[in-house]
Amino acid sequence: MLGDISDEEANELIALISKSVVENILKRGMVESKIFSVSHYLAVACYVLYDQSYQYNILKEVASKISPEDIARRSKSLGPGLNQLAFYSTCMLYLHGRAQVIHDNLSKKKAGETNIVVEPETKKKETKFILDFWKRLSPNYLNDETYILKNKKITCLSDDYIEKLKDNMIPINNNKEITKRLKQTIAHLTIYSFLSRAECRMSISEHGPYYFEDNTEPLIFKEFLELHTGDVMFEIDMTGNMPYKITKIAPFSNVIFGMTLKDMNKIEFNDWSTLFADPTDFSSNITSIGIWTRELSHPKDLRYPDNIGKLKPLSLNILEELSKFAKSATKELYIDISKWNFTKKLLFGSHVYVNSLLSVCAQYAGIEDNFNWTWPFDYASGKPLKTDLIDKEKIKFYIDKLGKKIKTSQDEKEAEKLQITALEKYEGVHPFMTRIFRSRRAQKLDPFYYKLQDE
Amino acid sequence: MKKIEEGASCSSNSEVLGEFVYIQSVEDVINLFDDANGKICIVDDSGTNTLGPILSDLAGVLCPLGSAGSHLAIVSREFEIPCIMSVNFLIDDLSSLNKKKGKKVTESEAKGIIYLLE
C-alpha cells in the first residue's frame, strides 16, 4: 500500500533529497525580488503543505484514482503539465514545511515548553506516504529511472519520439539574425514567465541532452508553459483562478524550443530543470532550431505511450508574435501587480507553490473539481474560504511569524551567528535554513530536512 | 570624465553611452515604460522582475549584487545589453546620478567600468 515504507527507508530518502537540495540552493543562492517577498511566501506555502496536511489530503485522493507511476509516464512528452522540477518539488516543498515545523517544536522544547510532540505518529505516516508517492515519480519519468538526477542530465523522451521531431528542425547555417530573434523571444518569454509566477520558474522547463540517430550534436529543449490565452483550458490557473487579467493574449498556451548545438564544453541540468551551459551564451553554437506547441487535451485522457499529446510544429514567424505577446503582457502584469498590497502578493506566490503541482495532479486523476483552488486569493481579499482543507487562522500565524527577521542572540555560537547574519537580510526566511551552512559531516549524520523524530 | 564604479561585465562587450536612472521602486520602472531608450539603470535586484518590462529597451544595466549567473545577467545577455554585476560603487549617493550622462567600457571579459561624463 502507498506509504508502507520502513522508518529506515524513509530516513534514506530524506537524506537523499536533503543532500541534493543543499547542493542546489548553495549553487543558486537565495532568490531575491523587489516585487515579491520570495522567501516569505515560499515558507508560508511550505507550512501549508505540511502543517495543514494539505498535500497529503489531496495526493491521497489523487492516488485513489491514478498511481504516481502512471502520472509520471503520461508526462514523458514535450510540454506536459508535470516535469522533473514538479516531481522533485513534490518532495522538496513538503519536507521543507516539515523541517520548519520540527524546528519550531524543537525550539519550544528547548525553551522549556512541556507536552510538545516534535513529530506525531500521524505526521510520520503522512510523511511516509509523500516519500513513497515521490519515489515512484522520477524513476517512471526519467529514462535512467533514478529518483534524482544522475550525471546531470534530464532525459525523459524515447528515441522514437525524438526521431519523429527531426523533420521539424530548421537549419540555422550561421544565420545570426535568426539566433538573435530566437534569443530575444526566449528572453521576453522568460521575463513574462517569472513575473506571471511571482519569480517561480515552474512554467519554464529545460531538459536534455538528446541525440538524433545520425547526429552527434546534442539536442536540448526549453519549454514555456501556461502562457495566458484567456481560455480556461486544462490548466487550473488559466484566467479563471488567477488574480490578474491580460488583454493581449498569447497565440498558444505553450511553446517548446529545441536546439541542436555544436562545440559545447558543458551541457548540464539540475533537478530544478535549469540548464548550465558552457559557453553560457551559446547562440553561435546553435545549428538547428525546432519550435512546437503541444495541443492540450485533458490530462486524465492521456495514455502512455500512444496518447501523450499531439505536437504542432511552428515556423520562425511565430517568434515575433511571441515576443510581442510577452512584452505587452509583462507590462500589463507589472502595472496590475504594482497595485497589489503585501498580502495579495504574498498569497499569490504561495498559491503558485502550493497549488500549481497539486492542481495538475488532481487533473491527471480527473478530480480537480473536488477541490477549491482559489482560497489564497479569497484569503487575501478577506473573503470566507470555500475549503475545509485550510485553517485561515494558521495562515495568519505563518505570515506573522515569518514576518519577523531572524536575529542572533548572545547564546549562539560564533558559527551560528555567521549563518544567521548571512540570512538576516532576507525577509521571511525560516531559522531552520541555517542548517544549510553546516559541515558535510554534520549533514550526513543529521540531514537538512531532519530524520524521522523519536520522542 | 570620472570613474564611478566597476564590476563584473557579464554581457555585451560594447561601449555604451546613456543617462543614469537609479531604480528604487516599481513606480520608477513604470515611469520609464515609454522612455527607457538610452537609459543605464542601476538596480539592486539581481532577478528580472524589477526591470522586466523595460529591460530590452535599456542602454545598460548596473547591479551591486549577483554574478554572471544571476537571472538579470543571463537575460541581459540574451538582449545583448551591457550589464555589470557585483558593481562596486565609488560614490555613496546613487540617486545623485539620476539624469547624468555616463559611459560603460569593457576592460576585459570579466571587468566593466562606468564613467560619469559630467
Q: CB B48 to CB A191 under 8 A?
A: yes
Instruction: Return the top range by mean pLDDT from A44-48, A242-246, A303-307, B45-49.
Output: A44-48
pLDDT (tens digit per residue) in A164-205:
999 999 999 889 999 999 999 999 999 999 999 898 888 999
pLDDT score for A100: 96
Instruction: Give the per-residue pLDDT at A240.
Output: 46
What is the model's pLDDT at position B11? 60
Q: Do A191 and B26 touch (CB under 8 A)?
A: no
Q: How confident is the model at residue A135 (pLDDT cuts 50, 70, 90)?
A: very high
Using a CB-CB cut-off of 8 Å, the residues of chain B touching A31 are 47
State yes or no: pLDDT of A414 exceeds 50.
yes
Query: Where along chain A do its domains lie?
Result: 7-64+84-140+344-445, 159-338
Cα separation, A305 vs A77, whole angstroms: 9
Minimal Cα–Cα distance from A190 to chain B, Å? Answer: 8
Average pLDDT, chain A: 91
Question: To probe the interface with B, which of A33, A191, A319 has the most B CB atoms within 10 Å?
Answer: A191
Among partner residues B46, B52, B80, which is closest to A334 by beta-carbon distance?
Answer: B52
Q: Write down the mean pLDDT value for chain B.
A: 84
Residue A236 pLDDT exceeds 60: no
Of A190, A280, A327, Cβ closest to residue B68: A280
CATH number of the domain that B39 lies in? 3.50.30.10
pLDDT computed for residue A212 by the predictor = 96
Confidence at residue A53, expressed as pLDDT on a 0 to 100 scale: 97
Residue A238 pLDDT > 50, yes or no? no
CA of A243 vs chain B CAs: smallest distance (Å): 18
How high is the pLDDT of residue A73?
96
CA B36/CA A95 separation, integer angstroms: 43
- Does ipTM exceed 0.95? no
Q: How many CB pairs under 8 A join A and B?
A: 76
Find the mean pLDDT for residues A267-277: 90
CB contact under 8 A, B50 and A35: yes
Is the Cβ–Cβ distance between A157 and A258 less than 8 Å? Answer: no
Chain A residues in contact with B86 (beta carbon < 8 A): none
Please check whether residue A318 is in contact with residue A251, taking contact to mean a CB–CB distance below 8 angstroms.
yes
Q: Is the pLDDT of residue A239 over 50?
A: no
Which domain covers residue B70, as residue numbers? 2-103
Res A30 pLDDT > 70: no
Report the pLDDT value the prediction gives residue B111, as an integer from 0 to 100: 75
Q: For residues A101 and A108, what is the distance between their CA atoms, to the nearest angstrom?
A: 11
* A71 CB-near residues (< 8 Å, 6+ apart): A62, A82, A137, A361, A364
CA distance A145 to A136: 10
In angstroms, the separation between the Cα of residue A431 and the nearest Cα of chain B is: 23
What is the number of other CB atoms lying within 10 angstroms of the CB of residue A146?
A: 12
A416-441 mean pLDDT: 82
**B55 in contact with chain A, both atoms CB, cutoff 8 A:** yes
Cell of A253: 498556451
- Min distance A174 CA to chain B CA atoms (Å): 17
User: What is the rounded average pLDDT of the residues A294-314?
Assistant: 89
Instruction: Tally the domains of chain B.
Output: 1
What sign does the CA torsion over B53, A290, A236, A58 have?
negative
> What pLDDT was estimated at residue A163?
96
The verdict on residue B88 lying in a domain is: yes
What pLDDT score was predicted for residue A443? 92
% pLDDT > 90, chain B: 31
Give the separation between CA A257 and CA B81, rounded to whole angstroms: 23
pLDDT tens across B14-47, in order?
788 899 999 999 999 999 999 999 999 999 888 8
When scoring A26, A28, A32 by the number of chain B Cβ atoms within 10 A, the one with the most, hence best to mutate, is A32
Asked if residue B117 is part of any domain, the answer here is no
Chain B residues close to A42, C-beta within 8 Å: none
Give the pLDDT mean for B73-100: 86
Q: What is the pLDDT of residue A428?
A: 86
Interchain CB distance below 8 Å, A187 and B47: no
Interface test with A, best of B28, B29, B42, B49 (most A CBs within 10 A): B49
Which chain B residues contact residue A338 at CB under 8 A?
26-27, 30
Give residue A231's pLDDT.
Answer: 66
Among A151-155, A288-292, A305-309, A447-451, the minimum mean pLDDT is found in: A305-309
Please indicate whether, in this complex, the C-beta atoms of A194 and B68 are within 8 angstroms of each other.
Answer: no
Residue of higher predicted confidence among A105 and A455: A105
Which pTM was predicted?
Answer: 0.92
- Please tell me which of the candidates A31, A184, A331 has its beta carbon nearest to residue B78: A184
